[in-house]
Amino acid sequence: MPKIVFLPNEDLCPEGKVIEAKPGQTICQAALANDIDIEHACEMSCACTTCHVVVREGFDSLEEADELEEDYLDKAWGLEPDSRLSCQAIVTDKDLIVEVPKYTINQVKENH
């Protein structure tokens, strides 16, 4: 099974974490299944940017983002060339190194 290395994130996994993922799972599903509580305000329906991640290694093993995901990524805080929405990035048989940005744009949280 491929591994996903989550780089340290102050809120989600301060020391980082290495998990196993099943091919066909999204990065978000794999994270949630392994107690990394990545934000996913739209319930993984590709309707927000709260699950934005940067794939530091293994980006080329992922299928290309579709137009809808690209549109949302354009709105993400801290967008980088290797950014993806973790709810849309499907794990293949390759290992990944992923960074969860420190900030997300969550309209619901910001308004309360």
| Residue 104 confidence (pLDDT) | 72
Return the structure tokens found at 98.
């992923």
Q: Look at the block and give the residue holding tokens 């960074």.
A: 99
Per CATH, the architecture of 3-104 is what? Answer: Roll (3.10)
Distance of alpha carbon 75 from alpha carbon 50, whole angstroms: 10
| Residue 106 confidence (pLDDT) | 60
Q: Which residues pair with 52 in a beta bridge?
A: 85
pLDDT tens for each residue of 18-62: 999 999 999 999 999 999 999 999 999 999 999 999 999 999 999
Tell me if 103 sits within 8 A of 79, measured CB to CB.
no
Residues 95-107 have a mean pLDDT of 83
Residue 5 pLDDT grade (very low, low, confident, very high; cuts 50, 70, 90): very high
pLDDT tens for each residue of 53-95: 999 999 999 999 999 999 999 999 899 999 999 999 999 999 9
pTM reported for the whole predicted model:
0.91
The radius of gyration of the chain's CA atoms, rounded to the nearest angstrom, is 13
